[in-house]
Structure 1
Amino acid sequence: MAQVTFKEKPVTLMGSQVSVGDTAPDFTVLANDLSEVSLSDSKGKVRLISVVPSIDTGVCEQQTRRFNEEAAKLDDVEILTISVDLPFAQKRWCAAEGVENLQVLSDHRDLSFGKAYGVAIEELRLLSRSIFVVDANDKITYAEYVSEVTNHPDYDAALDAAKSAQ
Structure 2
Amino acid sequence: MVQITFKQNPVTLPGNEVKVGEQAPHFTVLSNGLEPKTLQDFEGKVRLISVVPSLDTGVCSDQTKRFSEEAAALGDNVEVLSISCDLPFAQKRWTEINGVDSITTLSDHRDLSFGDAYGLTMQELRLLARSIFVVDENDKVAYVEYVSEGTDHPDYDKAIEAVRELTN
TM-score where L is the length of structure 2: 0.97
- Post-superposition offset of 1:112: 0.3
- Post-superposition offset of 1:7: 0.7
Within a 5 Å distance, the mapping from 1:10-159 to structure 2 comes to 10-75=10-75, 76-159=77-160
Q: Give the aligned residue type for 1:110.
A: D
Q: Is the 8 A contact 1:79 1:103 kept in 2?
A: yes
Q: Give yes or no for the alignment of 1:165 onto 2:166.
A: yes
- Partner SS for 1:165: helix
After TM superposition, where is structure 1 displaced by more than 4 Å over at least 4 residues in a row?
Answer: none
> May I ask how many residue pairs the two structures share in their alignment?
166
TM-score where L is the length of structure 1: 0.99
Higher alpha-carbon deviation: 98-107 or 1-10: 1-10
> Which string of whole-angstrom CA distances, capped at 9 and with x for unpartnered residues, describes residues 78-100 of structure 1?
00000000000000010000000
Q: Distance in 2 between matches of 1:150 and 1:9?
A: 11
1:2 aligned partner:
2
> Which string of whole-angstrom CA distances, capped at 9 and with x for unpartnered residues, describes residues 118-147 of structure 1?
001000000000000000010000000000
> Which string of whole-angstrom CA distances, capped at 9 and with x for unpartnered residues, describes residues 49-100 of structure 1?
0000000100000000000000011111100000000000000010000000
- Post-superposition offset of 1:14: 2.1
Q: Distance in 2 between matches of 1:165 and 1:110?
A: 31
- Post-superposition offset of 1:3: 1.2
Q: Distance in 2 between matches of 1:117 and 1:161?
A: 19
- Partner SS for 2:74: coil
Q: Distance in 2 between matches of 1:92 and 1:39?
A: 24
> Which string of whole-angstrom CA distances, capped at 9 and with x for unpartnered residues, describes residues 27-48 of structure 1?
0000000001100111111000
Segments of 5+ residues of structure 2 without an aligned counterpart are none
Q: Distance in 1 between matches of 2:166 and 2:134?
A: 8
Q: State the identity as a percent.
A: 64
Q: Give the aligned residue type for 2:17.
A: Q
Q: Distance in 2 between matches of 1:88 and 1:114?
A: 19
Q: CA RMSD in A?
A: 0.6
Q: Is the 8 A contact 1:31 1:105 kept in 2?
A: yes
Q: Is the 8 A contact 1:14 1:114 kept in 2?
A: no
